[in-house]
């Protein structure tokens, strides 16, 4: 009888230990779930339809948003933009610059809201004869040019390649207040600086979009 009682007590003790372990596991799982729910949410996949700014299909100085495009420079520096047909692509923008300071190719964004987008993408190539730019500056502007953010890109080649630049990488230029918002955007500018792009160059652009 005494032996049976001891065995019963041992079995009861074992059962209690198992219940306790299960309870502890349940509490740990619950705590983990709560911790996961407090963690920073993952960025959702980008499903926004790309915003085509300029595919140059019209071979004119008006982009897909209805905005004008053109050149900016201080003489004697210069930049000539033209829209030429390229086999297999149709019209593309051709930018020929000769500078000691800087010159730029700008396009109006018509007050578009870029907040749904993550990146700026475009196709680019350069003519190797005058020299391929080592770097090219991108500028995003709003508030009548009072707010500007910039990013430099490199890796331009003699053959077409697609570049994608994260909008979060655009930063203060030091000469203007950086963008405070991506809404009501006014201008996208491709800028060539002699110190970074070389004194002469011919660059081709196509399929400019935000994604």
Whether residues 62 and 127 share a domain: the answer is yes
Contact predicate 53/210, CB 8 Å: yes
Burial of 57 (0-12, 13-18, 19+ CB in 10 A): middle
- What angle is formed at CA 177 by the lines to CA 114 and CA 183, rounded to 5 degrees? 20
Whether residues 113 and 37 share a domain: the answer is no
Whether residues 88 and 190 share a domain: the answer is yes
Whether residues 173 and 92 share a domain: the answer is yes
Whether residues 158 and 191 share a domain: the answer is yes
Whether residues 93 and 57 share a domain: the answer is yes
Whether residues 61 and 28 share a domain: the answer is no
Q: What φ, ψ does residue 58 adopt, rounded to 5°?
A: -85, -10
Tell me the residue range of the domain where 22 lies.
1-42
- What angle is formed at CA 161 by the lines to CA 108 and CA 66, rounded to 5 degrees? 20
Residue 19 has pLDDT above 60, yes or no: no
Report the range out of 12-16, 19-23, 77-81 with the highest average pLDDT.
77-81
Local confidence band at 6 (pLDDT 50, 70, 90 cut-offs): very low
pLDDT in tens, 24-75: 444 455 444 444 433 333 333 457 899 999 999 999 999 999 999 999 999 9
Q: What is the pLDDT of residue 138?
A: 98
Q: What is the pLDDT of residue 41?
A: 30
* CATH number of the domain that residue 166 is part of: 2.60.120.430
pLDDT in tens, 125-181: 999 999 999 999 999 999 999 999 999 999 999 999 999 999 999 999 999 999 999
- What angle is formed at CA 196 by the lines to CA 129 and CA 167, rounded to 5 degrees? 110
Whether residues 64 and 23 share a domain: the answer is no
> What is the rounded average pLDDT of the residues 85-94?
96
Whether residues 126 and 194 share a domain: the answer is yes
Residue 79 has pLDDT above 80, yes or no: yes
Whether residues 4 and 107 share a domain: the answer is no
Whether residues 99 and 32 share a domain: the answer is no
Q: What is the distance of C-alpha 43 from the center of its chain?
A: 15
Q: What is the pLDDT of residue 48?
A: 86
Contact predicate 93/49, CB 8 Å: no
Number of domain units in the chain: 2
> What is the rounded average pLDDT of the residues 105-123?
98
Local confidence band at 22 (pLDDT 50, 70, 90 cut-offs): very low
């Amino acid at each position: 009888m005494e032996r049976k009682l001891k065995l019963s007590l041992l079995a009861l003790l074992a059962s209690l230990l198992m219940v306790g372990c299960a309870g502890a596991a349940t509490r740990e799982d619950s705590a983990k779930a709560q911790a996961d729910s407090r963690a920073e949410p993952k960025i959702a996949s980008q499903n926004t339809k790309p915003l085509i700014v300029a595919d140059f299909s019209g071979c004119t100085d008006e982009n897909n948003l209805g905005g004008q495009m053109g050149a900016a420079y201080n003489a004697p520096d210069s930049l000539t933009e033209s829209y030429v047909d390229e086999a297999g692509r149709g019209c593309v923008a051709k930018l020929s610059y000769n500078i000691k300071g800087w010159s730029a190719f700008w396009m109006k964004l018509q007050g578009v809201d870029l907040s749904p987008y993550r990146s700026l993408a475009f196709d680019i190539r350069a003519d190797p004869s005058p020299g391929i730019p080592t770097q090219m500056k991108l500028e995003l502007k709003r508030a009548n040019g009072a707010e500007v953010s910039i990013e430099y890109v490199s890796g331009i080649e003699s053959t077409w390649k697609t570049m994608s630049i994260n909008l979060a990488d655009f930063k203060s230029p030091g000469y203007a207040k950086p963008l405070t918002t991506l809404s009501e955007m006014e201008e996208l500018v491709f800028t060539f600086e002699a110190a970074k792009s070389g004194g002469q160059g011919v660059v081709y652009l196509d399929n400019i979009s935000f994604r």
